[in-house]
């Protein structure tokens, strides 16, 4: 290994005592390849097996906690006990390759296509449509329904424990339901779940509390609980950088094992809400957290040098997504001193060699600009 990359392969112990073999994790990525009933396919298991050997931890594709939380076609589910055997196959596949298996749990809220949820009943914090083409206006959840969804996050956490996962990541990013409760664009409520910045934090914090209490009640060994968030959104009104820093200040004291920011570019800069718009978001986050909880960073990490520079920012962990689809041996190549052999553009004739399921492959090939294509 090239000496300058050795820090990428140092071990790291999470707050709950779980040791990770290196600083590189696989980012959660939807793969559009499950069975219609929400169970996993052999294609997906092979996809995970191919990518789980080098990284220390694999965060799965997002898994819906209720039937009305499904946001993607051909997505695997975690909303009922019948899904435990299916979920267990994914956990076993990842762990057999030497990585920790973390199930990402979510509810899609107003981002769910009507044809994927019972009776087309799209729900959110408030009856405000997303700012995207053909967006449907959701129905505002009642307080009783909110409590039911909080409970559902706990139940899916229990299923993850029973299925043999090492942890869960609560998906509070990317415009899904937890994000929708925190956003002033999608949350116009005036009850205990909306209004002020503090009240917009109530739903995410209640989900965290439920997940943690479920872990305390059911896990027989240390179980990872992470939280993913998006620092800003483009909408007006929308989440500003100062909103997120106030929220992260609270999250850092919640006893989580890591926070995971969701960004397209690791060193991207804020849009609004802070004085210096030239200072990277990651630096604001690190200053606010001040070592109280590990921070995981993501965003266009393609080369070994990208990873080295990102880790030197001060984050404890890196998440790599698209690059592990393009080159499943990315981690091993750096570890073996073969970083010059890393492939950074997907090769259209290599689907079988890369072990990418058909559903995901079609998306990669048909969504311009999503992946760099050779």
Beta bridge mates, 260: 228, 296
Separation in Å, CA 197 to CA 53, 94, 122, 240, 248: 42, 38, 24, 11, 12
What residues contact 341, with CB distance under 8 A and at least 6 apart?
333
d(CA 190, CA 4): 53
pLDDT at residue 273 in the model? 97
Contact (Cβ atoms closer than 8 angstroms) between residue 273 and residue 243: yes
Beta bridge mates, 327: none
Backbone torsions φ then ψ of 221, nearest 5 degrees: -145, 165
Peptide bond just before 231 cis, omega within 30 deg: no
pLDDT at residue 148 in the model? 98
pLDDT at residue 120 in the model? 97
Count of residues in the chain: 374
Strand pairing category for 19-20 and 12-13? antiparallel
Give the rounded distance of the alpha carbon of 194 from its chain centre: 24
d(CA 93, CA 42): 11
The CATH code that applies to domain 3-366 is 3.20.20.70
Tens-digit pLDDT string for the chain (374 aa): 999 999 999 999 999 999 999 999 999 999 999 999 999 999 999 999 999 999 999 999 999 999 999 999 999 999 999 999 999 999 999 999 999 999 999 999 999 999 999 999 999 999 999 999 999 999 999 999 999 999 999 999 999 999 999 999 999 999 999 999 999 999 999 999 999 999 999 999 999 999 999 999 999 999 999 999 999 999 999 999 999 999 999 999 999 999 999 999 999 999 999 999 999 999 999 999 999 999 999 999 999 999 999 999 999 999 999 999 999 999 999 999 999 999 999 999 999 999 999 999 999 999 999 999 99
Kindly name the residue from 176, 227, 258, 284 that is annotated as catalytic.
176
Contact (Cβ atoms closer than 8 angstroms) between residue 372 and residue 365: no
Residue 15 corresponds to which tokens in the numbers above?
A: 């707050």
Beta bridge mates, 346: 373
Separation in Å, CA 10 to CA 19, 21, 57, 297: 11, 7, 14, 16
E-state strands within the chain: 12-13, 19-20, 24-26, 57-64, 100-106, 123-124, 139-140, 167-172, 224-229, 258-261, 295-297, 317-320
Active site residue 32: no
pLDDT at residue 168 in the model? 99
User: Cα(first)–Cα(last) distance of the chain, in Å?
Assistant: 27
Residue-wise burial string across 267-278, b where 16 or more C-beta atoms lie within 10 A, e elsewhere: bbbbbebbeeee
The answer, as to whether pTM is greater than 0.85, is yes
């Amino acid at each position: 290994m090239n000496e300058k990359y050795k820090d990428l392969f140092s071990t790291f112990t999470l707050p709950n005592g779980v040791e990770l073999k290196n600083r590189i994790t696989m980012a959660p990525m939807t793969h559009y390849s499950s069975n219609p009933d929400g169970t996993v396919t052999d294609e997906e298991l092979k996809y995970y097996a191919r990518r789980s050997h080098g990284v220390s931890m694999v965060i799965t594709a997002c898994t819906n906690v209720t039937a009305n939380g499904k946001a993607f076609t051909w997505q695997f589910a975690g909303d009922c006990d019948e899904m435990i055997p299916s979920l267990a196959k994914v956990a076993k596949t990842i762990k057999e390759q030497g990585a920790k298996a973390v199930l990402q749990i979510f509810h899609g809220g107003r981002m769910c296509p009507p044809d994927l949820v019972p009776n087309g009943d799209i729900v959110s914090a408030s009856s405000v449509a997303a700012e995207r083409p053909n967006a449907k206006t959701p129905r505002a959840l009642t307080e009783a329904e909110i409590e039911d969804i909080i409970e559902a996050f706990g139940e899916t956490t229990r299923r993850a424990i029973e299925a043999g996962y090492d942890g869960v990541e609560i998906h509070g990013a990317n415009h899904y339901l937890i994000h929708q409760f925190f956003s002033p664009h999608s949350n116009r409520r005036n009850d205990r779940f909306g209004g002020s910045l503090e009240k917009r934090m109530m739903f995410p914090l209640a989900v965290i509390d439920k997940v943690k209490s479920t872990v305390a009640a059911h896990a027989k060994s240390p179980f990872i609980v992470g939280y993913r968030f998006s620092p800003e959104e483009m909408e007006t009104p929308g989440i500003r950088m100062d909103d997120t820093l106030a929220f992260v200040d609270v999250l850092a004291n919640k006893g989580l094992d890591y926070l995971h920011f969701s960004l397209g570019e690791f060193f991207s800069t804020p849009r609004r809400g802070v004085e210096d718009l030239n200072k990277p978001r990651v630096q604001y986050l690190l200053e606010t957290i001040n070592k109280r909880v590990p921070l995981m960073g993501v965003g266009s990490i393609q080369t070994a040098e990208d990873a080295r520079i990102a880790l030197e920012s001060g984050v404890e962990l890196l998440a790599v997504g698209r690059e592990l689809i393009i080159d499943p041996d990315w981690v091993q190549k750096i570890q073996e001193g073969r970083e010059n052999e890393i492939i950074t553009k997907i090769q259209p004739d290599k689907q079988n060699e890369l072990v990418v399921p058909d559903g995901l492959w079609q998306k990669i090939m048909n969504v311009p600009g999503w992946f760099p294509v050779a």
